[in-house]
Structure 1
Amino acid sequence: MQSQMSKQESEIKQQTMAHDDEPDEWDKRIFSTGCADENAKMTDCYYEKKDWRACKDEMDRFRRCWKEHGNAKRTDTKDA
């Protein structure tokens, strides 16, 4: 019985791992901006330093990329 449980647990783990490799809605949105690499570097910087002020260069690169790809329109506010 134990070997059967191990096989079932292994199958569940493999299915879970396969699912984790698929991009979720958040990933799809980030990739669609054209700035996924810059976003990852900025996020990694914050994760390491725990202070956005220490990540000014990464934030500036992301901001430039965002503008270059015309993403400002995506975040414009609209009057209701």
Structure 2
Amino acid sequence: MSNNAEQPKIVPEDDDEPDDWDKRIYSTGCHTEQDKMNDCYYAKKDWRACSKEMEAFRECWKRKGNDERTQTKDA
């Protein structure tokens, strides 16, 4: 015996709104550099191949004063 009842369709949630993570990244003023760094890693799967992007993010981080704001310390 078959069930002809239509199954409810699952509609994905509209995820255009920034979440808490996005808001924190935007507040650093370095979200563009962070996106480029992540895109590089996603494409190359090796952080060593993304040193230029990592350095641009690090410079932006310091230039925007995030070391003091987040109590970041260089190793």
Deviation of 1:74 after TM superposition, in Å, equals 2.6
Distance (whole Å) between structure 1 residues aligned to residue 17 and residue 46 of structure 2: 30
When normalised by structure 1's length, the TM-score is 0.75
Aligned length: 68
> Whose helix fraction is larger, Structure 1's or Structure 2's?
1
Residue in 1 that maps onto 2:44: 49
Residue in 2 that maps onto 1:21: 16
What one-letter code is carried by the residue in structure 1 that aligns with 2:42? Y
When normalised by structure 2's length, the TM-score is 0.80
Gaps of 5+ in 1: none
Displacement over 6 Å in runs of 4+: none
Gaps of 5+ in 2: none
Distance (whole Å) between structure 1 residues aligned to residue 29 and residue 71 of structure 2: 18
Identity of matched residues, %: 60
